[in-house]
Amino acid sequence: MFAARAPAHLTHATTPKVFHFALLSAIEAALRGLLISVWPLLLYKIWQSAETVSLIYIGLGVSALLWGGLIPALTLWLPRRWTMTFGISLNILSGLLVLTGKPMLMTVGLLLHALGTATFLICLNAYVLDYIARVDLGKNESMRLVFSAICWSIGPFLGVWLMDWWLPAPFILALLLSIVLMVSFWRLRLGNGKQISRSRTPTPNPVAYLGRFIYQPRLVSGWLFAVIRSCGWWVYIVYLPIYCIESGLGNHIGAAALSVTNTLLFLSPLVLKFVKKYGVRLSVIGSFSIAALAFGLAWAATDQAWWTITALFIGSFALIMLDVCGSLPFLMAVKPSERTEMSAVYSSYRDASGILVPTAAWIILLVSPISGIFAVTGLALGSMALLATKLHPRLGAEKLTINSRLN
């Protein structure tokens, strides 16, 4: 008389919470953190030239930027869960290419890794905007960074240590992490969320969102903050290790500095409290100002390698602060109807910085030692501090206060 029914946990997926997205971010951070210091050292070892490494990263950045712009169009005919699955699969293929040991295929492996990362992060940002209320975005960013902290703290140094022990080792471990990420994503069954069901209205032209983005100054400013913040990380991650090698300090110092820096991610909850107390505007201005001063000092102390490393380390603390608060001006300005499109725009900051930094570095290295890159980065960070003065003094204050009361 009554038909048998499957258990509820099999037919109804649990609504994902901040914790679930933080967990996905942590696994992805373990994968990316393990290889983040390995890639530039591997390329430098293969091609023996900082200029060549810069040219490779230019091509990588252009490819990733173009790819990121195509992802919203891809999701028009491929469900988001399958798009995300495809992105994770690119990371798996990337590891397999590196294991061939052929220089050109290893370089292509870096490209696939970048495309896979861009795909995953665009989809993840869209899921976050679907399921996480605006008042909880600050909490989400903070928890994401805390969950990822141990991965980013251990990963860079572990990856370089494994590479010195046996070159394929970090990539084999990365393959295993990619499989774990795939399984974890599918266990959440995010594809069943109501936000990604097929729309009843015609889907807008995937190119049209670029015009809507340009004519929203708050979104443009928020995107620029993300681009220049990412430029600071690019210089710290790619060119600090090369500077250490050229200064005779070896492979491990740059990776160790990045690992120590990433332990500061555990301070993310304290940074969020600071943002709640003093506001997004002051937090962004202060963070960019400190970073600009630190990178400028790194350039001034270039003949003293340890002083340069110390200055850049101080600058990295400011970049950590920007990781917590720097995205809020953009995320708080996104309209609900433009979540997927603007997620693609926002995620493009990584690719834009991936073009800007190696292009500028390649030009700078033609006329200056590598320390010139630190000086130009400091100027760029300082310009963002000036732009941040245009933010509304109470930006996010009401939302962050409500979030504090709810918690």
Integer angstrom CA distances of residue 198 from 77, 185, 273, 342: 10, 21, 39, 18
Mean pLDDT of all residues in 229-255: 90
Q: What percent of the chain shows pLDDT beyond 90?
A: 39
Q: Residue 38: which of 127, 98, 112, 125 has the closest Cα?
A: 98
Rounded-to-integer distance, Cα 94 and Cα 175, Å? 9
Instruction: Identify the pLDDT of residue 204.
Output: 44
29 compared with 269, residue with greater pLDDT: 29
The residue written with tokens 């795909």 in the block is 119
- For the ranges 247-261, 278-292, 326-340, which has the lowest average pLDDT? 326-340
pLDDT digits (tens, 9 = 90+) for 73-82: 787 788 888 9
Tell me, yes or no, whether 108 lies in a domain: yes
Neighbours of 190 (CB within 10 A): 24
- Segments forming the whole domain that contains residue 309: 16-196+205-406
Tell me, yes or no, whether 171 lies in a domain: yes
Instruction: Identify the pLDDT of residue 13.
Output: 56
Instruction: Identify the pLDDT of residue 406.
Output: 28
**Residue 372: pLDDT above 80?**
yes
Look at the alpha carbons of 379, 381, 382, 383 in this order and tell me if their dihedral is positive or negative: positive
Contact 80, 278 (CB under 8 A): no
Distance separating the N- and C-terminal Cα atoms of the chain: 47
- For the ranges 17-21, 25-29, 194-198, 390-394, which has the lowest average pLDDT? 194-198
Q: What is the CATH number of the domain that holds 347?
A: 1.20.1250.20
pLDDT digits (tens, 9 = 90+) for 136-153: 777 777 777 777 878 888
Tell me, yes or no, whether 1 lies in a domain: no
Mean of per-residue pLDDT scores for the chain: 82
Phi, psi dihedrals of residue 20, rounded to the nearest 5°: -65, -40
178 compared with 219, residue with greater pLDDT: 178
Phi, psi dihedrals of residue 335, rounded to the nearest 5°: -80, 140
- Reported as a pLDDT band with limits 50, 70 and 90, residue 407 is very low
Rounded-to-integer distance, Cα 114 and Cα 116, Å? 5
Q: Give the dihedral of Cα atoms 233, 234, 240, 242; nearest 10 deg.
A: 160
pLDDT digits (tens, 9 = 90+) for 330-368: 777 777 666 666 776 787 787 789 889 999 999 999 999
Rounded-to-integer distance, Cα 312 and Cα 299, Å? 9
Tell me, yes or no, whether 382 lies in a domain: yes
Instruction: Identify the pLDDT of residue 197.
Output: 43
Tell me, yes or no, whether 272 lies in a domain: yes
340 compared with 175, residue with greater pLDDT: 175
What is the C-alpha R_g of the chain? 21
Tell me, yes or no, whether 276 lies in a domain: yes
**Residue 7: pLDDT above 60?**
no
Instruction: Identify the pLDDT of residue 396.
Output: 56
**Residue 295: pLDDT above 90?**
yes
The residue written with tokens 């490393």 in the block is 309
Reduced to 3 states (helix: H, G, I; strand: E, B; else coil), residue 2 is coil
pTM: 0.74
Phi, psi dihedrals of residue 266, rounded to the nearest 5°: -65, -15
Chain CA centroid to CA 340, Å: 17
Longest distance between any two alpha carbons in the chain, whole Å: 85
Q: DSSP alpha helices (H): ranges in 78-168?
A: 80-98, 103-131, 137-165
Q: What is the DSSP string of 371-386?
A: HHHHHHHHHHHHHHHH
- For the ranges 190-194, 279-283, 299-303, which has the lowest average pLDDT? 190-194
What one-letter code names the amino acid at 350?
Answer: R
Tell me, yes or no, whether 3 lies in a domain: no
Instruction: Identify the pLDDT of residue 403.
Output: 39
User: How many domains in the chain?
Assistant: 1
Tell me, yes or no, whether 105 lies in a domain: yes
307 compared with 139, residue with greater pLDDT: 307
- Reported as a pLDDT band with limits 50, 70 and 90, residue 196 is very low
Instruction: Identify the pLDDT of residue 266.
Output: 75
**Residue 198: pLDDT above 60?**
no
Instruction: Identify the pLDDT of residue 9.
Output: 46
Instruction: Identify the pLDDT of residue 348.
Output: 77
- Reported as a pLDDT band with limits 50, 70 and 90, residue 161 is very high
